[in-house]
Amino acid sequence: MTATKGLEGIVAAKSSISSIIDGVLTYQGINIDELAEKASFEEVVYLLWHGKLPNQSELDELIAQLGEYASVPAEVIAGLRLYPKNANSMAALRTAVSSLALYDAEANDMSSEANYRKAVKLQAQLPTIVAAFARIREGKDPVAPKKGVGIAHNFLYMLTGEEPAPVAIQAMDKALVLHADHELNASTFSSRVTVATLSDIYSGVTSAIGTLKGPLHGGANEAVMIMLDEIGSLENVEPYIQNKLDNKVKIMGFGHRVYKNGDPRAKHLMQMSRQLGELKGDMTLYEMSIKIEALVTGQKGLKPNVDFYSASCYTMLGIPRDLFTPIFAISRVSGWTAHILEQYEDNRLIRPRAEYVGPVDQHYVPLSQRG
């Protein structure tokens, strides 16, 4: 038995949700470029869950259901108030999502109907939790969700308490579309491993949030912004990045396990970053990002991934940097739940083997004889 470090190249599941073939990403066979330009996030959520785009009444019904479930139990909000104000926002989200199960009477009902309903609830409630925690830690009250508007709109509204500008809604919606699913990425895999024991969907999504949090995965978008803040100016890009490259320090937002010739989502976020900069009349973050890309790609051949330009986009939308990864979760919960439902449909315990490299032929030494 020989291990493959990081399971690189191992095909661990069959899935009909999204695919990456020759660097082309599709959701249910539809190219991400087309979805990024044309689809709303709710259409994508429906597509991932049902395998087809919704017609008007199916879309209306989904938006109505999302609106119906968007309020989170008062006990979960009360819990958010007890968290330390400086709690890590992904840790807060992970804890709050886990606690949702305590207040859902059907949390452990494993019927397909109940599992689908719970997927809708999770998709509806994650944005509410993220926005509520962001406000509570600033000493403000949470803003109740609106009915009849999309998730991008509702999230920005609940975060600020103000009607968001159409351009902000559009940008957020596109970012949600671009982050929704990505085949067997680490967080999706962990959600599938969890539910393959026939554990519940809340446990699967809680595992996924914990996995997304790390800076090699979803946490990279916040790490990119920390880097941009550290760099601070266009002039400082070159010395800063050169120093990191010379010292073999990873540049966050670059590289990918699957894409070796570039992430197809990055160009959409780059374009969005430029447009938001133009609208704001401040191109600094966009120009810094372009310069970083030129240096990293030029010297290392590494291309930006989905996390790189999303950092400047979210900042230009006025979002604090520690909410970037929770926003990723607001989108990716659509993919996690689609994969969880798919796993339940044709389940088998996921249990690989390990290549043992530890000592052999050892014996128990009594405590008194140990050095």
Residues that bind ligand ACO (CB under 6 A): 6, 216-218, 220, 250-257, 300, 302, 305-307
Size of the residue set binding ligand OAA (CB under 6 A): 7
Q: If contact means CB under 5 to 8 A according to the sort of partner, which of ligand OAA, ligand ACO, none does residue 303 touch? A: none
Beta strands in the chain (DSSP E): 18-21, 24-27, 30-31
Closer CB to ligand ACO, residue 6 or residue 23? 6
Annotated catalytic residue within 153, 179, 182, 256: 256
**115 vs 221 by CB, closer to ligand ACO:** 221
CB of 258 to ligand OAA, least distance (A): 6
Angle at 271 between CA 267 and CA 276, to 5 degrees: 145
Kindly state the smallest distance separating residue 77's Cβ from ligand ACO, in Å. Answer: 29
DSSP β-bridge partners for residue 30: 27
Catalytic-residue membership of 307? yes
* Complex with ligand ACO: residue 6 or 352, whichever CB lies closer: 6
Cα angle 173, 174, 176 (rounded to 5 degrees) comes to 65
Closest approach, Cβ 182 to ligand OAA, in A, equals 3
- Residue showing tokens 């009349």: 281
* DSSP conformation class of 145: P
DSSP 181-243: --TT-HHHHHHHHHHTTT--HHHHHHHHHHHHTSTTTTTHHHHHHHHHHHH-STTTHHHHHHH
- Partner residues linked to 21 by β-bridges: 24
Burial class (CB in 10 A: 0-12, 13-18, 19+), 198: exposed
Query: Which residue has 């579309």 as its token pair?
Result: 177
Binder of ligand OAA out of 117, 250, 257, 291 (CB under 6 A)? 257
Give the C-alpha separation, 87 to 303, whole Å: 32
Q: Cα-flanking dihedrals φ and ψ of residue 33, to 5°?
A: -60, -40
| Shortest spacing between CB 123 and ligand OAA, in angstroms | 17
Q: Closest approach of Cβ 3 to ligand ACO, in Å?
A: 14
Site string for ligand OAA, 302-321 (x = CB under 6 A): ---xx---------------
Question: Which x/- pattern over 175-214 shows residues binding ligand OAA (rule: CB under 6 A)?
Answer: -------x--x-----------------------------
Is 361 labeled as catalytic in the residue annotation? Answer: no
What whole-number distance in Å separates Cα of residue 285 and Cα of residue 329?
24
In terms of CB distance, is 127 or 255 closer to ligand ACO? 255
Mind telling me the catalytic residues?
Answer: 256, 307
Where along the sequence are the contacts to ligand OAA (CB under 6 A)?
A: 182, 185, 217, 257-258, 305-306
